Amino acid sequence: TLRLKADTQMVSVRVSGLHISTSFVLVIGRGVYGKVVKCKNLNTKETVAIKIIRKDLKHAGRSEILNMFSLRKFDSDRCSLIKMTDHFVHKEHQCLAFEILDIDLFEFMKGRHFKPLSVSAIRLIAQQMLVALQALKSIAMVHTDIKPDNIMLVNHKLIPFKVKLIDFGMAKHVSELRTGSWVQPNCYRAFEVLLGLPLSVSMDMWSLGCTLAFCYLGRLLFPSYSQYDNMKMFVELCGQPDNSLLNKGLFTSNFFNLVQETPEEIWDFYDLEEKVPTCVDSYEQKDIKAFIKLLKRMIVLDPDKRISPSEAHRQDFITMKHLVGCSGKYVINARTMIIFHITWEKCLVKIICQWNCFFFKINIKELFT
């Protein structure tokens, strides 16, 4: 029996035929779907996050479970995807148990007063999310809800900017996507959704581009006031859409027969380079330009011309090819961040071994050999 303690109320449910005692620690998330509760297994002391779906949304819970089963073929750590550990029903509430993570990217940015992240940190996030998108693409799955809130830091103190993509409640197979359907959050909604074009896995790349831009700017790239304002921002940033796209759009007439001022300052790609505080390191400027170059290919109006995850992984910003042969503090720090992420598992194993041997004076250089 799974004993779940919320305040003073005790409830019991059977999970996979096992007898496990679990107590609620605290509510760590709320949303339209219901809430997420941090729980502790009183037998194993393991901490998990249980997502409790509202009764009237149990179909969404079942859909998310099926999506999570589809992801079981992937290594959740290597592919940066949240791992579901169990699921059950309690009093008509669909419940999903997940590994416990740290904090989502939006709350992390909020905690630092939306101070922009360095492009070195953004590169780490981009690398991992591109691997996640490539995994989803390989099974023709579209997340449809990529935003900072759904990218979680795993353990920021231990492994800085190690992230995972979460919340597959809205994910769909490509075959389920319908032209004209309204998907994705407002400020991260792709051009093809707004115009009413055929939908594909490319829409996730657009949302990821908007998310990385948010990390870079410390504010939304496309602040949403209305559908028309969004479309006007798209055109100002990316240029006039090709007539071939306009002719195919179900909602083209909603946008391209109006004249209206946008109430918000609009960034263009040149501004994105210029709006950041002046860098003292010329290599950082070079890195920023490589990032903007990648961003330009992620936020492309034509979904067929938008960069794919595998192609994005080969871009200079990700491979750091543009910094080959360069030295200096900025380059060394940027490379060190990459090396740490590549070897973090190896490092943790060595630290544990050293701890078990009562060797507390850890030689950092040795950990990277």
What pLDDT score does 341 carry?
76
Q: 85-144 pLDDT, tens per residue? A: 989 887 888 999 999 999 999 999 999 999 999 999 999 999 999 999 999 999 999 999
Instruction: Specify whether 88 is located in the same domain as 227.
Output: no
Tokens for 136, please give them: 């989803």
What pLDDT score does 369 carry?
30
Across the range 337-349, mean pLDDT stands at 69
Instruction: Specify whether 84 is located in the same domain as 113.
Output: no
- Number of neighbours of residue 168 by Cβ within 10 angstroms: 25
Which CATH number goes with the domain that contains 7?
A: 3.30.200.20
Across the chain, what does the average pLDDT equal?
83
What pLDDT score does 175 carry?
96
Distance between alpha carbon 255 and the CA centroid of its chain, in Å?
Answer: 29
Domain boundary residue, one of 99, 119, 145: 99
Instruction: Specify whether 338 is located in the same domain as 272.
Output: no
295 or 282: which leads in pLDDT: 295
* C-alpha span between 171 and 169 (Å, rounded): 6
Domain boundary residue, one of 36, 69, 99: 99
**What are the CB-based long-range contacts (under 8 Å, 24+) for 177-181?**
177/142, 179/250, 180/250, 180/251
Bridge-based pairing of strands 151-153 and 84-90 is unpaired
Instruction: Specify whether 72 is located in the same domain as 180.
Output: no
Q: Is residue 46 pLDDT above 60, yes or no? A: yes
Instruction: Specify whether 171 is located in the same domain as 40.
Output: no
What pLDDT score does 224 carry?
79
What pLDDT score does 218 carry?
96
Instruction: Specify whether 316 is located in the same domain as 335.
Output: no
Tokens for 74, please give them: 């992937």
**Structural domain containing residue 314:** 103-323
Total count of domains within the chain: 3
Instruction: Specify whether 317 is located in the same domain as 262.
Output: yes
Tell me how far CA of residue 86 lies from CA of 98, 139, 270, 361, in angstroms.
7, 22, 47, 39
Instruction: Specify whether 134 is located in the same domain as 32.
Output: no
From 104, 145, 149, 167, the catalytic residue: 145
Instruction: Specify whether 65 is located in the same domain as 126.
Output: no
Q: Is residue 34 pLDDT above 60, yes or no? A: yes
Model pTM? 0.84
What pLDDT score does 14 carry?
40
What pLDDT score does 2 carry?
43
Which CATH number goes with the domain that contains 195?
A: 1.10.510.10
Across the range 2-26, mean pLDDT stands at 44
52 or 307: which leads in pLDDT: 307
Instruction: Specify whether 343 is located in the same domain as 260.
Output: no
Cβ neighbours for 308, distance < 8 A, ≥ 6 positions apart: 137, 202, 205
Tell me how far CA of residue 83 lies from CA of 65, 74, 80, 98, 343, in angstroms.
11, 10, 9, 6, 21
What pLDDT score does 107 carry?
96
* Residue 365 is labelled as binding a ligand: no
Instruction: Specify whether 58 is located in the same domain as 12.
Output: yes
Confidence class for position 30, pLDDT limits 50, 70, 90? confident
* C-alpha span between 111 and 153 (Å, rounded): 13
Burial of 301 (0-12, 13-18, 19+ CB in 10 A): buried
Instruction: Specify whether 161 is located in the same domain as 89.
Output: no
Domain boundary residue, one of 72, 99, 126: 99
Q: Is residue 281 pLDDT above 90, yes or no? A: no
For the question of residue 145 being annotated catalytic, the response is yes
Cβ contact 21:45 at 8 Å: no
